Amino acid sequence: MILWFAGVSFVFVWWVFRTPALDYRLVMLGSILPVGEFVLGGPRLLHTLLAPVALLTVIMLATQRRRLVRRRWIGLAIGMLMHLVLDGIWARTEVFWFPFLGLTIGSGEQWQGLPEFGHSFGVAVLLELVGAACLVWSWRAFDLGDRTTRDRFLRTGHLNRAAASPPNR
């Protein structure tokens, strides 16, 4: 479930913020980062609200008076918040609200592995196709087929200034 998180996060964050200067590479990285907790057997700290809020707090405090650095790194926290929305972890209150509703993550009946892998095969394929469609749309809408535009995106994570208005493609 990589394309679902990366593609939908990219498009959704663009539609909300409408800024070409956000580092969309870090948004996508932040959105797939919690998937790495599969090696631990289930949701841990990266699936809680605490992790992205703490990261956002550190970024905001560490980048005072350094607007460009803040703009770059804030995408990571935004992507992690997007992951929480897209995987529905908010429905598992023990995990999402850790440590406010208890000091254990993943105990009891709510411990069922990562929600990303709890879907049926058909639903998982459908979600990945939606993510892929979002990435294809982004490729076309933001003209990432153009070498200069693509190189800028790969180097900085930024889109063209023209991306501030909604694309019609």
Q: What is the pLDDT of residue 110?
A: 44
Over the range 134-166, which residues count as b (16 or more CB within 10 Å of their CB) and which as e?
A: bbeebeebbbbeeeebeebbeeebbbbeebeee
The dihedral over CA atoms of 10, 12, 18, 23, expressed in degrees to the nearest 10, equals -30
- How far apart CA 158 and CA 133 sit, in angstroms, is 20
Q: What is the pLDDT of residue 109?
A: 45
- How far apart CA 112 and CA 169 sit, in angstroms, is 41
Low-confidence ranges of the chain (pLDDT < 70): 106-112, 163-169
Q: What is the pLDDT of residue 126?
A: 96
Q: What is the pLDDT of residue 111?
A: 47
Nearest by Cα to 31 from 112, 86, 74: 86
Whether pTM exceeds 0.95: no
In the chain, where are the structural domains located? 3-160
